[in-house]
Amino acid sequence: MLAICSDCGTASEAAVGYCECGGIRIIERPIGDAEAQAGLWPASPLIRSRIPGLGNVYLKYENGHLTGSFKDRIMRLAVADAIRSGLAGAVVPSSGNAALAASAAGASAGLPIYAIVPTGTAVERIAPVAARGAAIIEAGSDPSEAYRAADIVAAELKLSRLYSTFAAPLAEWACRSIGVETARQLGSTPSAVVAPISAGPVLVGTGNGVAQETGNLPPLVAIQPSGCCPIARAFEAGSETVEPWDGPVETAATSIADRLKGYPQDGTYTLRLVRRSGGLAAAVADEEMRSAREALLRHDGVDAELSASAGVAWLMRNPSRLQGPVVCVLTASGFKHTYRGDVPAAEPATDRIETAERICALVSRHGIAARRA
């Protein structure tokens, strides 16, 4: 497939890497039903939220993919592309979700996967990757350094690169399927698309997919953690370009905490499209994301990871900011948090506690010991 540079307009094959001018390369061909029909991914559900104040919000539930995140969409295509290249294996830089998606796709295709993760990545993020046969290398202190390490490894060892930033044109293109599905499920153009982002392919791709299906690009709302938010910072400052995050990374939302060091053009491209769409970029605190994660569990029965809860966190802070049907992309499952016991503690409603106590008494009267857990 051909990709066109968004800056100079040069056309080239959609391999991994930026244009010679440094610009982002975008695949022009619309994403079609053929990709979904090939069994690369199932359509994800669109759920109307029951969180108080968010009655106009629809959750695009990406948690249900094979490895629990939208990265499955990207890595299924990327691994298929890597197989066609004929190289002996592939390297994937990741803070967790991309590595897991790549390891699953690699296992099913027989492609050796080498995952490069930042040093200190939580064991619950690494263990599922190793279980699928991938070799794991800790390198650097953040996603930017992991990407730089992957570039070195791929060049020296002649491995394919499985990237989920704009450096891989397939990443944004795969995410257009989210937007196509959303427009068909909703039956119209949403009044806005909200998504938690690091570099932005999931938000840009979803918006472009909606536009492909309806002819209208909805306002795009990019949400980042306040402890690492280069795109939101640039938006608030009125800047035309995004600079790498130069301060400490102070957030537990590691999936979207990317300094963009070495590839700030990714952030600049997302920033420009956010502005062109009439949208915005903003930051939320970790505590807001924790509250949003708890609300998703309590009211919608959805277990989203902390990073994936960022969009809902912003909507809970601004419940009347957006009118009409708003789509919020839930990018990844919270099962990794849940497995380590990091689940919001919440008491049932009073009426449920009373009923539970009656159930305990009833069961006990029949000679079966019972108590409320």
**173-207 residue pLDDT tens:** 999 999 999 999 999 999 999 999 999 999 999 99
Provide the token pair at 367.
């000679």
Evaluate whether residue 85 is within a structural domain: yes
Residues 122 and 222 reside in one and the same domain = no
Same domain, 104 and 180: no
In a domain, 112, yes or no: yes
Q: Residue 105: inside a domain, yes or no?
A: yes
Residue 166 lies in a domain: no
Using the 3D structure, point to which of 161, 181, 200 is the last residue of a domain.
161
Residue 29's closest CA among 188, 189, 174? 174
Strand order in the sheet with 46-48: 46-48, 57-61, 326-330, 192-196, 220-225, 280-284
In the chain, the number of structural domains is: 3
Give the domain extent around 237.
Answer: 34-69+172-339
Please write the tens of the pLDDT for every residue from 135-148: 999 988 888 888 89
- In this structure, the answer to whether residues 89 and 220 fall within a common structural domain is no
Same domain, 202 and 312: yes
Q: Which helix (H) or strand (E) holds 180?
A: helix 169-186
The domain that contains 280 carries what CATH number? 3.40.50.1100
78 within some domain: yes
**Distance in angstroms (rounded) separating the CA atoms of residues 150 and 145:** 9
User: Hey, what amino acid is at 249?
Assistant: V
Specify whether 236 is located in the same domain as 359. no
pLDDT in single tens digits along all 373 residues of the chain:
899 999 999 999 877 899 999 999 999 898 877 665 555 667 899 999 999 999 999 999 999 898 999 999 999 999 999 999 999 999 999 878 999 999 999 999 999 999 998 888 888 788 889 899 999 999 888 888 888 999 999 999 999 999 999 999 999 999 999 999 999 999 999 999 999 999 999 999 999 999 999 999 999 999 999 999 999 999 999 999 999 999 999 999 999 999 999 999 999 999 999 999 999 999 999 999 999 999 999 999 999 999 999 999 999 999 988 888 999 999 999 876 655 555 565 566 787 788 888 888 999 999 988 887 7
Pick from 270, 330, 279: which is nearest to 304 by CA? 330
Mark whether 177 and 59 lie in a shared domain.
yes
Among 141, 161, 181, the domain-final residue is 161
Beta strand pairing status for 280-284 and 326-330? unpaired
Indicate the residue among 161, 182, 215 that finishes a domain.
161
Biggest CA pair distance of the chain: 78
